[in-house]
Structure formats: structure tokens, C-alpha cells
Amino acid sequence: MAVAAPYRIVVAGGGTAGWMAAAALSRFLGDGFTITLVESEAIGTVGVGEATIPQIRMFNAGLGVDEDAFVAATQATYKLAIEFVGWTNGGRYMHAFGDVGRDNGLLAFRHTWLRGLAEGVAEPLAAYALNNVAALSNRMQRGPARTARVLPEMPYAFHFDAGLYARFLRDYAEARGVVRHEGRILDVARDGETGNLQSIHLDGDRRIDGDLFLDCTGFHARLIGAAMGVGYHDWSHWLPCDRALAVPSARARDFTPYTRATAHDAGWQWRIPLQHRTGNGIVYASGHLSDDEAAARLLAGLDEPALGDPRPLRFHAGRRAYAWAGNVIALGLSSGFLEPLESTSIHMIQSAVERVLKLLPGRRDLPPLRDSYNRQAAHESERIRDFLILHYWANDRDQPFWRECREAPLPDELAEKIALWRETGEIVREDGDLFSDVAWLQVLVGQGITARGHHPLADQPPRAQIAEYLDLLAKLNAREVAQMPSHSDFVHAHGAADAEIAA
């Protein structure tokens, strides 16, 4: 009996996207598959995706990676939240991971809090988010709460060096049989009848044949765009920033367990503390800020001296019309770009890899699988897009860029969500949405969008009972955080690459 030839998966491009795909495929696919990755060290990677959201822990756990080993290998630190500074005319707030308060049966906590605000007995929302309180105190722990069982376990993510993460995953994938080819992609061959890709051609007259191709070639989109001709949906009318500059600086003394996004006249600036350095960048609209002005603003805002020159990045927010065309699936920047305001770049790679594994087509062309993949990918990117638009639209800054953002028409779904919140205090999470109702709550409140009402069930307890309940939750959070170690001490105990990290 003839043995079927293995199913050949070709990953075009390395970096974070390519090696995340290769690592996951090598972990979960069996002997009937071969995985080949092609990349060129002469082609640089974008490398700005150094902040993540908690789902990255699921990816690493699925690979069987030891968390402390990962932290050490990637010079990682822990992340509890994102701090937004200056988005509302000088104010600041946090979008923290995890729960805010405690629901009471069917009644979401936000309604109890809104009733407390109306009665004058509620503290700011941040007091009821354990992650927020811990982040502002520069403290960190993992595992169940120590002081009260009613408190949730703190979810967390990481800041890490994306280049080191790709190297870490490369070692993992190659140890599991992934074959890497160094070289530039010069051309591709397509089947004249089906239009599917047959092979990619490399320098040195080399040819790599495949059955399924994963396009991880970044903004160039060599396969999904250039070869398959899939168009691009441009969202720059909603998200007008089109350029970024990135530069590392020396390790910050202010070693925070959160990312910071600081608004400026024509965009925002990020700060991401790692063990060995701090990642910094400025995102801006070129129509409102020149490249030279952006570079000067970026360098002037660093905590510590720069470790190089700013690296430029040009982009247009949007997505491919289809992430999967023929036998090509785009991952990462090949599939689209949304600025890293909410640290979603690496997560979108992760979720795409998960979809590839779930909907792996095999040797037959199965349009329903492809259609389902494309619907899911489009829904995910559009809902993340709306969450980012909210930050820009709900501002009260008095500069031309910000006035334009405030005056731009909203996508229908976002306008409906804002209207529902304003009138009723309700937030509905649709199936497949990445961000929870608690995430939306923190940004809506943080950006100054107030709710005029709350659920009628929140009016049933007497004022004193509401006050006591809210006071207890805030005190439990404060007590739990008080016994946590500092963030730097925690890193030192759980994955420090440098023995002096706690200094």
C-alpha cells in the first residue's frame, strides 16, 4: 500500500509571526506534515510588538513552555495594565486586565458603581480593579489571592523583546523538525488552472514546493498581495496615524508592570519597560507632524539615553479584503495593521495561528473553511478597530488632529455601543469580540463618556448598603496589594536574565 506524501506547509517569512506559526504547527501537527520556513536575515523585522495581552500565556502554555524560562530568554517583564496619559486634556487612566469589582448575580458591577456615583459613595473606578491598584503600586504576584478568597486571581501579560522571542521560538520549532531556509523570495509559481501557489523561488536558483503557504512577509505581503492580488481595506479615515518611529533606551529605573501610552499633539508615544532596556516609540499622523519633529519629540520624552537612532515605520491602518485566498493565508502584518495602542499585534498573530490549526484544509479545496476563516478574521480586526477608534474619538484635546478625530463619523456598531452605554450604563459583548465589557467600561469611563442611567436592580439596596459594599471591595484590593512583592523583586525571583534586575 502506497504511503501518502506528507502535507507540505511553507511559512514565508520569519519574525514573530513566522516563528509563532512554525512553533505551533510543529507542536500540534503529526508525522503527516512537513513545515518549512523561509526567511532572510538581510530583511529586517518591524519589531515594535513588545507588549502583549494575557492570551499570550495560553499560547506559551500550549507549547509547553516554562514561563520563567521564557521570561529569562526574552528579557521579559510582567504587565498588568496599560496607562493612558493625556488622552483627555491632561488626565490619565488605566485599562487594567481582569475584573473590576464583583458582579451581584445578574447585576453587573458597573451598575452598582454607577448607583454609588449617583449617591456620592463610590470611589473612582480604578479602586475596584485589583490589577489597577497593583500596577499603580508597582507590585506583582501570580496565583490565587492571598488575603481574601472573594478576590480574583490577577491576569497578566508580558513586555518582551520580540526579536528574542522569535529566536526562542525558532529554537523550539527547529528542535521539532521545522526546516529553515535562508534566502530572499524572488518569485512564485502558480497553478494555471486553480490559481493556487505551487512554489516560491529563492535566490540561488532554489525552489520550495508546498500545499499550504502562510504569508508572514510583513507589509510587503509577497504572497497574499503581490502574488494572489488580494486588495486592502484602508481604515485611515478612522485611524489617521500613518507613521511611527521606534527607539530603545537604557533600562528604566521606574520599572513599571504596565505599558504607557501618552498622547501628544498628533498621536501618541509608547513606553515598554523590559529587563535590559526600555522600548519607546511615537505614533503620529504625517499630515500634522513632520518626521523630524516626531523624532525630536520622541527622543526628548525618553526616561534614559537612547541606545540607537529612531527606526521609521510607515503604514495605513486596515486589513486585507481576505486573509485566506486560494492556498495562501496571511498572518501578522501581511493580513493588515492596527497600531499597537492596545497591544493587540501579537495576539492577532496568535488567534490567526489558532484559526489555521482549527480550519486546516488538507488536500481538498474547501471553500466553506476558507469563508469561515475570513469571516472570523474580519470580525476580529473590525471589533479591535472600533475599540481603538474609541480612544481617538472620545477626546477633549484642543489641537487640529484631535478635533478631526472627534468630528469623524463613527462605524455604526461603535456608535450603537456608545449610545447604549450613555443611556443605560449597559455594555454588550458580541460573540467573538476580543475585548470584554469590563475593558470597554474602563476606556469609556477613562475617556470621560458618562452614563446617564443604570439598571433598575441597582436601586433596590439602601444607600448605606451600597456604600458599605463598595468600601469593602476597595479595602480588600488595597490589603491584597499591600502584601505583594515589588515588580522588580518578582522579576528577580521569576525569570530574571540579569542578577542586578532588582537593584
User: Which of the residues are catalytic?
Assistant: 79
Length of the chain measured in residues: 503
Buried b (16+ CB within 10 A) or exposed e, 114-146: bbbbbeebbeebbbbbbbbbbbbebbbbeeebe
| Contact (Cβ atoms closer than 8 angstroms) between residue 140 and residue 257 | yes
What Å distances lie between residue 192 and 196, 260, 330, CA to CA? 8, 51, 22
How does DSSP classify residue 311? E
Enumerate residues 6+ apart whose C-beta is below 8 A from 62.
24, 27, 28
| Contact (Cβ atoms closer than 8 angstroms) between residue 279 and residue 302 | no
Cα 167 to Cα 39: distance, rounded to the nearest angstrom: 13
Cα 378 to Cα 395: distance, rounded to the nearest angstrom: 27
- Describe the crossing of helices 55-63 and 345-358 by its angle, rounded to 10 degrees: 50
Other residues' Cβ atoms within 10 Å of the Cβ of residue 198: 16
Enumerate residues 6+ apart whose C-beta is below 8 A from 137.
481, 484
Least Cα distance to 49 among 251, 319, 342, 250 occurs for 342
